[in-house]
Structure 1
Amino acid sequence: MTKTIPFKRAAANLAATLCTVLGVMSTVPAVAQTQTLAQPQSEAALIAHGEYLARAGDCIACHTAASGKPFAGGLKFDTPIGAIYSTNITPAHDTGIGAWTFAQFDRAVRAGVKPNGDTLYPAMPYPSYARLSDDDMHALYAYFTKGVAPVEQKNRAVDIVWPLSMRWPLGVWRHLFAPQPVAFDAKHYDDPVLARGAYLVQGLGHCGACHTPRAATMQERALSDTDGPAFLAGGASIDGWVPSSLRGNPRTGVGAWSEADLVQFLKTGRTQHSAAFGGMTDVVQHSMQHMSDADLTAIARYLKTLPSNDAQETPYAYDDTAARALRSGDATAPGAAVYRDNCTACHRSDGRGYNRVFPALGGNPVVQGKDATSLIHVLLTGSTLAGTQTAPSSFTMPPFGWRLNDQEVADVSNFVRHSWGNAGSTVSADDVARVRKTVKVEPPPMPPGASLGH
């Protein structure tokens, strides 16, 4: 079974593809130790801190296969030329990292180089991890070598034929596009809370791996806010999902969200504005909900400092025209009848949904995004918002692709993208057909003895 981890799969795709075209060997020196531990910690405290950092980095999402043992690897990543599999990072001596020294562990995480000198596929987001502090690296090492149960499980070889399976071209990509490990410079930020947020977003959280656009050679166009407005400006479609902008764009980003909204979203996956979907549901489940309020606040405060990268984008303003028409029984607008029959129970005729339960559609950044792929995907396949520690209820949107044709999906997509003040681009039946080919469309599970009533 292949689990969808969109941003890391994109990096894997890039690495495998580059293996076919690059031809220069490069090397990387051992990671320079730029700091020393601030103060001695007990081993238990160091392991506990490492566990927290591993959650913040969402390590378990990639290094645990479906129904597999934690961190034992084996999760499949499909690439254009074959599959690669995540590795065993438990402290098993023979098949995991139990025999690794700290220097070897550090070099793999921050520089992307295995103990034997091979470059890791950048499905491992080492371009972001390059800025992790020495203190945090020591804590992570302590956790993965002493706080994780060892699992003797061999790593799976890549399913890529030779010569495409050669590793050395990855070193070229790393040399060109991955920064050498350097200490994070907190002096760029005049507030220690902002500095902490920047450190988490740019480093351990590796948010840019998904939410930053990539160049033709698939490296992130920016690794921090100092690199320009491309940073966190939204990613390209991966596995049928389009990561949204995390900048202050008033419609397609989080410009209309408050700091409290962002904290709530990271902690629960839901706000009055939107709900998590696709790979972000894994991030909330495995990572963000387990982080401290202080760290979530730091992340939110930092994101709120990033200005919009689109000067032409106007602020959202609610328009009740569609709501009044639906309430009066007028469903003559294209897609209105489909919306009335399938969507109003949860999202209401006014498009405002139910706070923290069913997300609003009016003003929703995903609904108004320039690329409607995510909206189409959700309509076709449905989505489940799993419960979290502080929001235990789980809510599921059923799939509609099994009974709505491409034109009907396009019509209802356009209805929500052009109603309640939204200003999205127009969706065609051909757009829906393209997405349908890439996703698995199934009817919802039915209780025993029930019928779909064809």
Structure 2
Amino acid sequence: MKTAISSNLSRIRRWFPLASVLAMLLTASLPSRAATPADRLVARGGYLAKIGDCAACHTVQGGADFAGGLPMQMPVGTIYTTNITPDPHTGIGRYTRDDFERALRHGVARDHNLYPAMPYPSFSKISDEDVDALYAYFMKSVKPVKQRNRQPDIPWPLDMRWPLKLWNLFFLDDTVYRAKPNKDPVWNRGAYLVQGLAHCGACHTPRGVAMQELALDEKSQIFLSGASLDGWFASNLTGDNNAGLGRWTENDLHMFLKTGANVHASAYGPMTDVINKSTQYLSDEDQAAIARYLRSLVPSHAGDVNEREPYRYDGEATAALVAGTPLSNGARVYLTYCVSCHGVDGRGRAPFIAPLAGNPDVLGTNPLSLINVTLNGATNLVIGGVPAAYPMPKFKLGLTNQDISDVLSFVRSGWNNSAPAIEAQDVAKVRASTSSK
């Protein structure tokens, strides 16, 4: 009996490799199902959702995709992003295509008006075809998640939503983007993405007293000239020589969108999420189109220092650091905490470690982001699944407000940066406002 079993097992072992090969050949010979128009529409919607960076706002760390719950600070209180999965009870599962379009482009959900923290003033420019693709993706590809939306933390009567109808009446231009006939297709594609689905102006354009964006396209020099946002300063993206992108080439911009870093700067703060979850996944063609459009923007001259002449490096600060005496407190702090990464010459190790000499965020008048990143550090850029090797550490426990103001003032005056000094009280304000985050 044992001999028979052993013989059968031996026979099975001999035939198993051949059977495996036959199975693979048979599988390979079967025709694969061709993608249908509906499949392609869903796939395009998924790509568009990446461009729109929907996950950055509607997915919290450790939470389900697109289930919402991210807190967003507004002048009247805190709101929480909503569940945009196709769950029929707590998400958008019962939305028709027209319901979806009204929320996306007009800021009107099925039962209430949306706050303009939802960038529908930008999304209003999205084409009908792209709305169709986004709707198909969210309804057919996103997993439904049953998670109720959290109510805003806004006191009555400021929580009433009917005034948002008036806000839309005064500030919403819901005209779909129209290509400029005097511009080439690449420029127009970039303009469509920047002004619309990528909603760059929602962060990078200054806002008025009613929290409206003061400009919606390149017709105004204010558009994308930089703005304060939740403890950070969203950078100037106009053609300013020093605080803007005037010294960047289209290739520099393309690399920044793909990797979050180039010879001029590295992404940090909220821009890290944009790189991690959105721009690195864009096609080369769309990255190039965005770069073409941004490079076409004229300088804003938004109050920044010495904008008429492009920045030129000066090694005087390097010589002083090498000589060692006499040194200010800012220089001593720099030698102790900063020089090992950013170098005695302030040039960093681009693209792995950002330069400080000539960095647009160093040259700008608003130091909010510099203070915040020095206090609280930076989260990792993750490109192609690989985290950055040298994220900015946090120094809020090791350095006093005076130390941070001194070292940042040293950086902003060294290597011909020529930017205004920072006061200790400015650091104290940012420390207090970010201590619970």
TM-score bin, normalised by smaller chain? 0.7 to 0.9
Q: Using a 3 Å threshold, how does the CA distance of structure 1 residues 127 and 138 change in structure 2: closer, same or farther? A: same
What pairs up with 1:285-296 in 2 under 5 angstroms? Answer: 285-296=276-287
**Following the alignment from structure 1 to structure 2, what is the Cα–Cα distance between the partners of residues 260 and 99?**
44
1:200 — aligned with what? Answer: 193
The offset of 1:238, in angstroms, is 2.2
CA contact (8 A) 1:402 1:441 kept: no
Inter-partner Cα distance in structure 1 for 2:164 and 2:75: 15
Kept in 1, the 8 Å contact 2:264–2:358? The answer is yes
Kindly tell me the number of residue pairs found equivalent between the two proteins.
Answer: 399
Residues 352 and 362 in structure 1, CA contact (< 8 A), matched pair in contact too? yes
Structure 2 residue 408 is the aligned partner of structure 1 residue 416: no
Normalising by structure 2, what TM-score?
0.88
| Stretch moving more, 71-80 or 261-270 | 71-80
**Residue identity (%):** 49
Q: CA deviation at 1:392?
A: 4.7
Q: Secondary structure in 2 aligned to 1:420?
A: helix
1:305-454 paired onto structure 2 within 5 Å: 305-310=296-301, 313=307, 314-330=309-325, 332-389=327-384, 392-440=387-435
Give the alignment partner of residue 298 of structure 1, picking from 262, 267, 289: 289
Residue matched to 2:69: 74
Task: Tell whether the 8 Å contact from 2:272 to 2:380 is kept in structure 1 after alignment.
Answer: yes
Q: Is 1:136 aligned to 2:130, yes or no?
A: yes
Which runs of at least 4 in structure 1 moved beyond 3 Å after TM superposition?
78-82, 390-394
Asked if 1 retains the 8 angstrom alpha-carbon contact of 2:207 and 2:214, the reply is yes
Task: Tell me the residue number matched to 2:25.
Answer: none
Aligned partner of residue 95 in structure 1, secondary structure? coil
Residue 164 of structure 1 is matched in structure 2 by 158
Give yes or no for contact 1:47–1:147 (8 Å, CA) kept in 2: yes
Q: CA deviation at 1:440?
A: 2.6
Q: In the aligned structure 2, how far is the partner of 1:161 from the partner of 1:231?
A: 32
Q: Displacement, 1:387?
A: 2.2
Contact map agreement 1:331 1:340 (CA 8 A) in 2: no
The reply on whether 1:151 has 2:142 as its aligned counterpart is: no
Partner of 1:280: 271
How do 1:3-18 and structure 2 match up within 5 A? Answer: none
In 2, are the aligned partners of 1:63 and 1:72 still within 8 Å (CA)?
yes
Structure 2 residue aligned with 1:26: none
CA distance in 2, matches of 1:331, 1:392: 39
Say whether residues 1:108 and 2:103 are aligned partners.
yes
- Cα separation, partners in 2 of 1:408 and 1:188, compared to 1, 3 Å: farther
- Specify which of 205, 208, 229 is matched with residue 215 of structure 1: 208
Structure 2 unaligned runs (5+)?
1-34
Return the TM-score normalized by structure 1: 0.84
Partners of 2:279 and 2:204 in 1: CA distance: 16
Q: Match of 1:10? A: none
Alignment CA distance shift 1:393-1:410 (3 Å): closer
Q: Distance in 2 between matches of 1:217 and 1:441?
A: 27
Kindly state the Cα deviation for residue 224 of structure 1 after the two structures are TM-superposed: 0.5
Of stretches 400-409 and 276-285 in structure 1, the one that deviates more from structure 2 is 400-409
- Cα deviation 1:163-222 (Å, max 9, x = unaligned): 222110111111111112x23111255210000000000000000011011112221110
| Structure 1 residue 331: Cα displacement | 5.1
Q: In structure 2, how many angstroms separate the alpha carbons of the residues matched to 1:332 and 1:85? A: 48
Q: Which has the higher helix share?
A: 2
CA distance in 1, matches of 2:156, 2:205: 32
Mapped to 2, the partners of 1:66 and 1:144 lie a distance apart of 20
- Contact 1:269/1:385 (CA < 8 Å) preserved in 2? no
Matching of residue 230 in structure 1 with residue 225 in structure 2: no
Deviation string for 1:403-425 (max 9, x for gaps)?
21122111111110011110111
Distance 1:55 1:188, change over 3 A: same
Match of 1:125 in 2: 119
Ranges in structure 1 where 5+ consecutive residues have no aligned partner: 1-39, 443-454
SS state at 1:242 partner: strand
Shift of 1:369: 1.1
Q: Residue 99 of structure 1: CA displacement?
A: 1.3
Query: Could you tell me which residue of structure 1 aligns to residue 23 of structure 2?
Result: none
Report which structure shows greater RCO (CA 8 Å, sep ≥6): 1
1:176 equivalent to 2:170? Answer yes
Letter in 1 for 2:147: Q
- Counterpart of 1:419 in 2: which secondary structure? helix
Larger radius of gyration: 2
